[in-house]
């Protein structure tokens, strides 16, 4: 007979021992039932024990809600069950299974989503700066800045710039002034819609239009890249980035960005390559003065994974210099670009092993549907290189030894479900391997990757799919709270910073819970 689990005894066990205990406990119940040793009453007891074992093993399963949290959870679960029930009855409104481009209008009206928008979400740990700001803001502000020019490169991709002599930056055609193009349209709003499509993947028919979505996706970085090196645009854009994250109840972020670029101004002057870091520090300090409950940001330097070994070594040397100059601001290193077409981590070992011992790796690894290739084996090399977190880790579910290593070593996987869907790894989000990771209590944090490129803001949309599609139907506040606290736990905040973050998060969370229970939230 399978005994009832003692919660107090269970909480005292280390995390890995908890998992092994629950697994053996559940297997004992199944073995007893298979041997025909149970009565009808015993069968029900074993059945309940197995269900409890799975729930205890799941992300958030070990967390106990206080009285107020339990009341807020009841309210949240009412919203969730209503939306799931509606989706079950009408496939066209089943947001949990729909592509984000088809579901977004429904999600925007969702009570679950409005709850999540107002929920404190801790830290944003997987975000690329060039695609972090909403495309509508870019159109309404940056495209109206005086002096913006547009051309096309040899592949027909639009390139935007504010340079006086932009011909050196990838142009094949003559530059034209964006302001003149807009005036040539009968309706400026039509031009703005056209312009937004240059930096937004949205389409009402993603299943037809984006058979090669990565090509369009990477083209958009080329389109917007030189605009963001223009000093006035750089400042405005990154201020807006902080605004959008803060307005989505994010208190801290770790921002991935390429740093080996010169800023330039309206007079044609260029600045040393460390100027971008100095600008970001000034923006961060000014933002924190206006928002004392925002804890700031740190930078993870990125470089293209298609580079040569020699180029990678030069980029790492440049990162080393910035890390030494700004040790608590430029904190990590990563490789970016489509993994399937890029070079493997293994091929860059001579360069990656030259990183300073104080540097941290935050490696994209396993962002692929491939199995048994150099791409999914990037996860293996990421672990051998002692990565601090794993970006995406989509293929991790296919490698049980590596999966167990991730759990045993307490390495967080940065989950970005909408990115994986938009970039064609998964269609129905309920089939995302993140569901397995949640079920097995793999260390997880939620990130939004490139929200500006697919008509999103902040991180709430990714939280929506995590709780509605990846988590079981009966999962609520325990999963959400664990993911929020994980975002601080697995951040690179220093101990004093982390202590302050937990204190602030606890206050924000308690205030939010009390407002939900009192009915003071806008849902």
Active-site positions read: 367, 392
Pairwise CA distance, residues 75 & 363, whole Å: 38
Pairwise CA distance, residues 295 & 250, whole Å: 9
Do 207 and 184 form a contact (C-beta atoms < 8 A)?
Answer: no
Q: Taking the alpha carbons of 510, 72, 245, 145 in that order, is the dihedral positive or negative?
A: negative
Q: Hey, is 25 helix, strand or coil?
A: helix
Place of tokens 């520090």: 281
What length does the chain have?
A: 523
Sheet holding 158-161, edge to edge: 158-161, 149-152, 176-177
Is residue 510 classed exposed, middle or buried when 0-12, 13-18 and 19+ CB atoms within 10 A define those classes? middle
Q: Hey, is 479 helix, strand or coil?
A: helix
Place of tokens 């029930």: 85
- CA-nearest of 122, 165, 158 to 143 is 158
C-alpha radius of gyration, the chain, whole number: 24
Q: Hey, is 142 helix, strand or coil?
A: helix
Pairwise CA distance, residues 27 & 42, whole Å: 15
In order, the DSSP letters of 164-206 are SSGGGSS-SSPPEEHHHHHHHSSSHHHHHHHHHHTT----S-H
Number of alpha carbons in the 13 Å side-chain half-sphere of residue 105: 6
Give a three-class secondary structure readout of 195-254: HHHCCCCCCCCHHHHCCCHHHHHHHHHHHHHCHHHEHHHHHHHHHHHHHHHHHCCCCEEE
Q: Hey, is 107 helix, strand or coil?
A: helix
Do 76 and 115 form a contact (C-beta atoms < 8 A)?
Answer: yes
Work out the widest C-alpha separation in the chain, in whole angstroms: 85
């Amino acid at each position: 007979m399978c005994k009832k689990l003692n919660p107090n005894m269970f909480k005292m066990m280390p995390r890995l021992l908890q998992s092994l205990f629950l697994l053996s406990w559940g297997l004992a119940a199944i073995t007893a039932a298979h041997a025909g040793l149970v009565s009808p009453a015993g069968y029900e007891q074993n059945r309940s024990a197995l269900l409890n074992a799975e729930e205890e093993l799941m992300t958030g399963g070990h967390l106990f809600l206080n009285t107020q949290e339990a009341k807020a959870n009841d309210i949240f679960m009412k919203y969730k069950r209503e939306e799931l029930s509606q989706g079950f009855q009408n496939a066209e409104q089943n947001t949990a299974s729909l592509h984000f481009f088809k579901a977004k209008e429904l999600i925007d009206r969702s009570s679950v989503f409005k709850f999540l928008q107002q929920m404190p979400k801790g830290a944003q740990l997987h975000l690329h700066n060039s695609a972090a700001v909403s495309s509508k803001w870019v159109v309404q502000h940056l495209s109206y800045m005086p002096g913006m020019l547009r051309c096309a490169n040899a592949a027909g991709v639009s390139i935007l710039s504010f340079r006086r002599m932009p011909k050196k930056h990838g142009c094949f055609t003559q530059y034209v002034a964006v302001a003149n193009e807009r005036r040539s349209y009968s309706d400026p709003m039509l031009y703005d819609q056209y312009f937004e499509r240059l930096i937004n993947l949205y389409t009402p028919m993603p299943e037809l239009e984006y058979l090669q979505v990565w090509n369009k996706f990477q083209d958009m970085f080329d389109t917007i890249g030189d605009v963001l090196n223009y000093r006035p645009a750089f400042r405005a854009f990154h201020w807006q980035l902080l605004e959008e994250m803060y307005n989505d109840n994010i208190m801290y972020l770790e921002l991935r960005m390429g740093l080996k670029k010169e800023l330039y101004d309206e007079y044609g002057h260029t600045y040393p390559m460390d100027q971008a870091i100095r600008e970001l520090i000034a923006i961060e300090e000014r933002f924190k003065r206006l928002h004392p409950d925002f804890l700031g940001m740190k930078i993870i330097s990125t470089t293209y994974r298609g580079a040569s070994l020699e180029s990678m070594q030069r980029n790492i040397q440049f990162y080393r210099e910035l890390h030494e100059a700004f040790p608590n601001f430029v904190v990590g290193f990563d490789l970016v670009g489509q993994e399937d077409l890029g070079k493997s981590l293994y091929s860059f070992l001579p360069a990656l092993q030259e990183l300073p011992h104080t540097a941290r790796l935050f490696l994209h690894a396993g962002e692929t549907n491939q199995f048994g290739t150099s791409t999914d084996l990037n996860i293996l090399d990421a672990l051998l290189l002692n990565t601090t977190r794993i970006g995406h880790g989509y293929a991790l579910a296919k490698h049980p030894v590596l999966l167990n290593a991730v759990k045993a070593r307490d390495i967080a996987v940065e989950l970005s479900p909408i990115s994986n869907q938009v970039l064609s790894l998964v269609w129905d989000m309920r089939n995302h391997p993140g569901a397995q990771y949640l079920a097995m209590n793999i260390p997880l944090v939620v990130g939004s990757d490139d929200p500006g490129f697919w008509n999103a803001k902040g991180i709430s949309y990714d939280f929506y799919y995590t709780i509605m599609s990846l988590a079981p139907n009966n999962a609520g506040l325990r999963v959400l709270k664990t993911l929020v606290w994980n975002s601080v736990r697995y951040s690179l905040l220093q101990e004093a910073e982390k202590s302050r973050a937990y204190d602030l998060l606890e206050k924000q969370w308690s205030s939010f819970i009390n407002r939900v229970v009192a009915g003071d939230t806008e849902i």
